[in-house]
């Protein structure tokens, strides 16, 4: 399979913002609407799909995935295995119904319940279930990973809000000052940097 970064004309490890820019430019170029009269419209459409796939792969691959799922490995409990299958295919409501009729509420039960709740948007309760699963069985990597994924996402958001407006390390660099000067000029009716 071709490297998704290569498809977007980028170096591996390009930033998210670079990926978004590259996707925008290429998607516009190959969009079916833009190529109606093009004799190579079929090729363009194929290329368009490839770009879309590459974008999705990059966006869902590296960050804390787009859907919070179980990793599908089986425990010994056959009763919960069937429910796990439902969770894996996204039938969360059915899974919750089935889980509610299980009497032995062990760590895995709490974990599966948590995964269902998080995916249905009841994030607060979902996290509580998974936390309970982790405290019942602290050595279980699957439960821990799930919780870490969510904690990392929360941390990422908090650090972005913390750093927002603080400008990071280059707040006083020459470029920022120029832009500030540009804003001031625009205020007074002039323009220092013509492009912005």
Partner 1 sequence: MSDKMFGYVTIDKMELKFKEYYSYKGYYCGLCMSLKNKYNNFSRLTLNYDMTFLILILSSLYEPDNKIYNSRCIVHPTKKQLIIQNDITEYAAGINIILSYYNLKDNWDDEKDIKSLAALSILKGNFNKARSELVAKSEKIKEILLNMSLLEEQNTNDIDKVSNEFGHLMEEIILYKTDVWENTLRKIGFFLGKYIYLLDAYEDMEKDKKNNSYNPFNNLNVEDIDKYAKEILMLNLSFLSEAVEKLPLVQDKEIIDNIIYSGILMKIKNTSTDEKGESR
Q: Where does this chain bind partner 1 (CB under 8 A)? A: 16, 19-21, 23-24, 27, 52, 55-56, 59-60, 63-64, 66, 117, 120-125, 127, 150, 153-154, 156-158, 160-161, 164-165, 179, 183, 186-187, 196
Q: CB-wise, 74 or 152, nearer to partner 1?
A: 152
Using the minimum distance from each CB to partner 1, give the nearer residue, 29 or 81: 29
Nearest approach in angstroms of CB 23 to partner 1 is 5
Measured from the CB atom, is 89 or 179 closer to partner 1?
179
> How many residues are recorded in the chain?
196
Contacts of 51 (CB under 8 A, 6+ apart): 7, 8, 23, 26, 27, 30
H or E element that contains 187 = helix 174-187
Q: CB 81 → partner 1: shortest distance, Å?
A: 27
Name which of 54 and 80 has its Cβ closer to partner 1: 54
CB of 79 to partner 1, least distance (A): 26
Residue among 124, 95, 136, 47 at smallest CA distance from 55: 47
Residue closest to 111 by CA, chosen among 85, 84, 89, 93:
84
Smallest separation, CB 195 to partner 1 (Å): 11
User: What residues contact 134, with CB distance under 8 A and at least 6 apart?
Assistant: 107, 140, 143, 144, 147
Cβ proximity to partner 1, 1 vs 196, nearer residue: 196
Residue 108 vs residues 75, 97, 113, 119, 190: alpha-carbon distances, Å: 8, 16, 8, 17, 65
In the complex, the smallest distance separating the C-beta of residue 187 from partner 1, rounded to whole angstroms, is: 6
């Amino acid at each position: 399979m071709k490297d998704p970064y290569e498809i977007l004309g980028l170096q591996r490890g390009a930033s998210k913002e670079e990926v978004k820019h590259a996707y925008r430019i290429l998607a516009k170029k190959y969009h079916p609407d833009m190529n109606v009269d093009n004799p190579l419209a079929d090729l363009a459409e194929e290329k368009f799909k490839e770009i879309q796939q590459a974008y999705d792969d990059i966006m869902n691959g590296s960050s804390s995935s787009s859907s919070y799922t179980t990793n599908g490995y089986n425990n010994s409990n056959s009763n919960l295995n069937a429910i796990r299958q439902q969770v894996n295919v996204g039938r969360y409501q059915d899974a919750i119904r089935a889980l509610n009729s299980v009497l032995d509420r062990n760590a895995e039960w709490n974990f599966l319940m948590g995964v269902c709740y998080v995916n249905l948007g009841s994030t607060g309760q979902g996290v509580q279930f998974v936390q309970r699963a982790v405290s019942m069985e602290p050595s279980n990597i699957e439960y821990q990973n799930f919780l870490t994924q969510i904690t990392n996402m929360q941390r990422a958001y908090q650090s972005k809000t913390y750093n927002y407006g603080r400008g990071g390390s280059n707040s006083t660099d020459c470029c920022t000052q120029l832009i500030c000067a540009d804003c001031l000029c625009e205020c007074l009716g002039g323009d220092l940097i013509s492009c912005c």
